[in-house]
Amino acid sequence: MTKWQVTKQQVTKQQVTKQQVTKQQVTKWQVTKWQVTKWQVTKQQVTKQQTQITGHGMGNWFFSRPGAVSRPCVCDLAPAPYLRRELRRVGAAGHPGGRGLLGGRGPAVNISVVMPSALGPSELARWRELQEASIRLDNPFLSGAFAVQVGSVLPAARVAVFEDGNEIVAFFPFSCGPFRTGRPLAPGIADCEGLVHAPGFEFDASRLLRAARLETLEFDHLLGDQLPETARQVHRAESPVVDVSESFETYLCQRRKAAKGVISSLERKRRKLERESASVHFEDDDRRPEVLHQLMEWKSAQYRRTGRSDRFARPWVRSLVEGLFDSDEPGCTGRVVSLESEGHVIAALFGVTSSTVFSSWFPGYDRDHGRHSPGLLLFLAAAERAAAGEPPGAPAELRGRRGGPLPLRFDLGKGDEEYKSVLANDAVEVTAARLDLGTPLALARRLQRYPQRVAVDVVVSHPWLRRRARGVLRGVGRARRLLRS
C-alpha cells in the first residue's frame, strides 16, 4: 500500500487493504505490480457515485494518471477517448492480446459505456462515417447527433462504444431503465433502433449486457436484420416508406394502381382547396417556432381525443423536439414542412432528416379543414418537392440539411394507420423483442412484461381486434373530455 499513496482521509468508509485491492477490486483485470505502482487514487475518484465503472469488473475504483484531471467515468461524464485508452491497457477479456468481448482472436475488442455528451468530435465523425457506409444505417434516429440531443434532456441516455485495437467499429445507443433494463434511446418515441457498425462486425448482445451491467435489453423498432438469435417475445412489423427516388410521376402511377380512387380523390380535394382559397402555399423548411408549437397543440389534442398518452406532456419530449428544431447537424436535422391556406397553417409535419431519409415523426392538421384531407395533401406536396430536387441548384451534399432538398425516402413509422397504407410504396422491417441473461431479476422482468406483450401481439395480429381497441381508446378520450368539462 505504500506505493498507492492512499491516505486515511481519502478512503473514508472504505478501509481498503492490499488483499482487497488485489482480489476483489481488480477482478478480471489482472493488473500487474508494474501497472499498479504507476497509478494514484485521488479522493474524487474514490467516491462511490463518481467511480463506478459499468460492466468492467472494477467495482468502485477508477485509475487515473498522476497529475491528470480527475474525471468521473462510464455512468457519469467520462470522455470516451480517455476511458478507452485506459481500458485498452488490459483488454476487454481480462488480459492483453486475449479474446475480446465479441470473440475472435487478435486485438481485444473493448466496450466502453459513456453518456452521449462524452463523445468528442472525432467519435461523432467516426459515427457519421459508419452510417454513410451503409444506406440501411443512414437513419436520423441512429445518428450520433440524435444521441447527443437525447442525452441533453434525458440523463438515462447511454452509448456503448466498441473499439477493436485503435479503431472504433460500432456504436450502440440506449437508455437505462429500472431493474437494470436497457431500453431504446428515446423510449416510446424513437422510430428506429440498432447498432451502427463497420461492415462485417458481429454483434454479441449478451456481452454488451454484461459490459453495460444490464439484466435485460428491450427493443421496439430494432432493424430487422439485427435481431439476435437469442431474442425472446419477438414481434415483427413493417415501417411504411414513401420512396420517390425514381420520379414523382412513377410514384403516383404506383399508388393509383394500389389504392384505386384514393389518389384521384386527393387530387380533386387539392383542386377544390385551390379554388376556395386565394392562395395555397407549401413550405419545405418552415423555421417559424409558432408553427412548431401549433403542431404540438394539435398532436396533444389528438392524443387526448384518441385516449392515448400525451407525449408532449412530458417535458423532456418537448425539450428534445425544440432542440432538434434548432439543430442542423449532419445526419440529424430537425425540419418542419407546412401547408398554408390564405396565410393560415392547415397542416404541418415535424421530422428529422439524414441525407437519404426523412423520418416523419409528428404529423398534424387543423380539424376545421379536415374535409380537404390537408395531412395527405401535405405528404404528397413534400414527396413532389423532394423528387423535383428543389430548391434549384442546391448542392447534392445539402440534401436533408438546411437550404437543401428534402430526402427521397419518407419513413412513416411503424403502424397500420390508413393514411400509411395509402401513401407507402415500400417498407422497412423492424422488430420488437427483448434479450436477457436469464438471471432472477431478468426472469422477474420477463414475467412482468409477458401478459402485456401477449395481449399486444394478439390485438395487433387481428384487424378486427385492432379496430375494437381503437374504439375503446376513443371512448376513453371522450370520457376524459367529459370529466374535464
Domains and CATH numbers, the chain: 1-70 (no CATH), 77-235+434-460 (3.40.630), 245-407 (3.40.630)
Q: Note if the pTM is more than 0.85.
A: no
Angle between helix axes 289-305 and 463-484 (nearest 10 degrees) is 110
Which pLDDT score is estimated for 154? 95
Torsion, Cα 301 313 236 414, to 10 degrees, reads 40
For position 371, what pLDDT does the model report? 92
| Nearest one of 75, 65, 87, 167 to 118, comparing CA atoms | 75
Can you give the pLDDT at residue 45? 37
pLDDT value of position 392: 60
Q: Which of 28, 22, 78, 31 is nearest to 53 (CA)?
A: 78
Question: Which pLDDT belongs to residue 352?
Answer: 96
Distance CA 75, CA 115 (A): 7
Res 306: pLDDT: 86
Q: Is the peptide bond before 315 cis (omega within 30 degrees of 0)?
A: no
C-alpha cell at 91: 483488454
pLDDT for residue 458: 64
The tens place of each residue's pLDDT in the chain, 485 residues long, gives: 444 344 434 444 334 343 343 333 433 333 333 333 333 333 333 333 333 333 333 222 222 223 332 333 333 333 344 333 333 322 333 333 333 333 333 346 889 999 999 999 999 999 999 999 999 999 999 999 999 999 999 999 999 999 998 899 999 999 998 888 899 999 989 999 999 999 988 877 888 888 888 888 999 999 999 988 888 888 899 999 999 999 999 999 999 998 888 999 999 999 999 999 888 999 999 999 999 999 999 999 999 888 888 999 999 999 999 999 998 888 999 999 999 999 899 999 999 999 999 999 999 999 999 999 999 999 999 999 999 987 665 666 778 888 788 999 999 999 888 899 999 999 999 999 888 887 776 666 666 666 666 666 666 666 766 667 667 666 766 676 677 76
Rounded CA gap, 154 and 278, in Å?
45
In the prediction, which pLDDT does 454 show? 62
C-alpha–C-alpha distance, residues 277 and 272, integer Å = 9
Beta-bridged to residue 357, according to DSSP, are: 409
Task: Name 350's bridge partners.
Answer: 336, 362
